[in-house]
A = this chain, B = another copy of it.
Amino acid sequence: MEKEQIIELLNDFKNNKISTDEALKKLKCMPFEDLGFAKIDHHRVLRNGFPEVVLCRGKTTEQILKIFQSMEKTQNNVLLTRASEEVFEEVKKLNKDVKYNALAKTITLEKEKAERKGKVLVICAGTADIPVAEEAIVTLEIMGNEVKKVYDVGVAGLPRLLKHLDDIYNANCIIAIAGMDGACVPTVAGLASCPVIAVPTSVGYGASFEGLAPLLTMLNCCAPGVAVVNIDNGFGAGYFASTINNR
């Protein structure tokens, strides 16, 4: 759509509707709102079907609140990730419709509930990986995807995983989440025929090196059909899965 905007812009210019300076200014300046410390990309919803998402980590509460206010006034849904409960309490004062998922640490404002389409399977290997899975699920749901979740099915107990073969066969896309050995990913990928998005987690200790171990496992996955996102990046996996499922 930038292309169409540029064409329209050029035509407006040709027809003398706008001046050279205005054209130049517009050409360089796609619509976003500048808060000084942040620039809110309101036109992302047009490009990608979903508004910009706010990673709260590393931002002050004051900054988060101002960004929320900028986003809230549009018609779009709002998603804030890695948000502490303290931040949620402050955001709630601005808009009491926001919801908090304490495991996922997400704040959501769903202006109009989207239809949940398709089917994305979210598998996680251990109980301690659940917060990452929940972040993926919140992301998937607010982006309009139907989710099936299956928890605690690491390969240490293969039957637990095999019980869910049907879910694996029926998914449009699978998000497989694991810390420690990360070995459920190659196993799931060997059984699945849809794309598998792998999420390493920092769950573990010692030689897991904060998630490096499952990250390497997943990058070296023998079974094809796997791609990997950053350690603990449930949001990224959910977003990526949504781009596949909503296709």
Does A94 belong to the interface (CB within 8 Å)? no
Q: Does A76 contact B (CB under 8 A)?
A: no
**Residues of chain B lying within 8 A (CB to CB) of residue A203:** 58
**Nearest-neighbor residue (CB-CB) of A221 within chain B:** B181
A205, A214, A233 interface centre (most CB from chain B within 10 Å): A205
Indicate if A122 sits at the interface (CB-CB under 8 A). Answer: no
Name 13 A/B residue pairs within 8 A (Cβ), A-sorted. A28-B165, A53-B224, A155-B223, A158-B190, A180-B221, A181-B183, A181-B217, A181-B222, A183-B185, A195-B243, A208-B230, A213-B219, A227-B227
- Interface contact A209-B205, CB-CB below 8 Å: no
CB distance A187 to B229 under 8 Å?
Answer: no
A162 to B206, CA, bound (A): 30
Chain B residues near A223 (CB, 8 Å)?
A: 155-157
Q: Closest CB of chain B to A24's CB: distance in Å?
A: 6
Closest to A67 in B: B127
Is the Cβ of B222 less than 8 Å from the Cβ of A228? no
Size of chain A's interface in residues, with CB distance under 8 A? 111
Q: Is the CB of B169 within 8 A of A205?
A: no
Interface residues of A in 164-197 (CB under 8 A from B): 165-166, 169, 172, 180-183, 185-187, 189-191, 193-195, 197
CA A207 to CA B191, docked complex, whole Å? 23
In the bound assembly, the distance between CA atoms of A49 and B193 in angstroms comes to 8
Inter-chain CA distance A1–B239, complex, in Å, is 29
Establish whether residues A186 and B155, one from each chain, have CB atoms under 8 Å apart when the complex forms: yes
Question: Please, how many angstroms separate the alpha-carbon atoms of A229 and B206 in the complex?
Answer: 10
- Residues from chain B with a CB closer than 8 A to the CB of A165 are 2-3, 28
The minimal Cβ–Cβ distance linking A185 to chain B, given in whole angstroms, is: 7
Determine the chain B residues whose CB is within 8 A of the CB of A52 once the complex forms.
157
A197 and B230 within 8 A (CB): no
Question: Is A100 among interface residues, defined by CB-CB distance under 8 A?
Answer: no
List chain B residues, Cβ under 8 A from A109. Answer: none
In contact, A181 and B186 (Cβ under 8 angstroms): yes
Given A156-B224, A181-B220, A207-B230, 8 more A-B residue pairs with CB atoms under 8 Å apart are A29-B159, A58-B127, A180-B222, A202-B206, A206-B230, A207-B220, A224-B239, A228-B229
